[in-house]
Amino acid sequence: MGKVKIDAADKAFSLYIRTRDRWTCKRCKKQYTPPTMALHCSHFQGRGKEATRFDPLNADALCYGCHQYFTSHPAEHYQWQVATKGQAVVDAIILRSNTYKKKDRKAEAILWKNEIKTLLT
């Protein structure tokens, strides 16, 4: 699979996840001052899977190092997901990731921009 294009919906969702997680890496607990590119929105099931691309349960704020580590060690990423979210949630994310969802990026961008506003109020 080639590189997945980043659009306005992806940017809004990424900002939502990093804001939700209080600009702190969920793995190593390092805290960041926004805005920064050092903290990523890491997807458990890759962004190429439209059904979970914008699923908050499928995404965590991870620093560059932790994100790279989990990308290189998918079995450890899986175990960490189970340890932090539980087996039932992980199983549900994987099931959803393998279902069809029609793309509606304009609606996703609007939704996540509104969710960011809700977090900040």
Q: What's the rounded Cα separation, in Å, for the pair 46 and 94?
A: 10
> pLDDT by residue (tens digit) across 29-52?
999 999 899 999 999 999 999 999
Give pLDDT tens digits for 68-120. Answer: 999 999 999 999 999 999 999 999 999 999 999 999 999 999 999 999 999 99
CB 8 within 8 A of CB 107: no
Distance CA 20, CA 79 (A): 22
CA–CA separation, 15 and 8 (whole Å): 11
How is residue 43 written in tokens? 């997807």
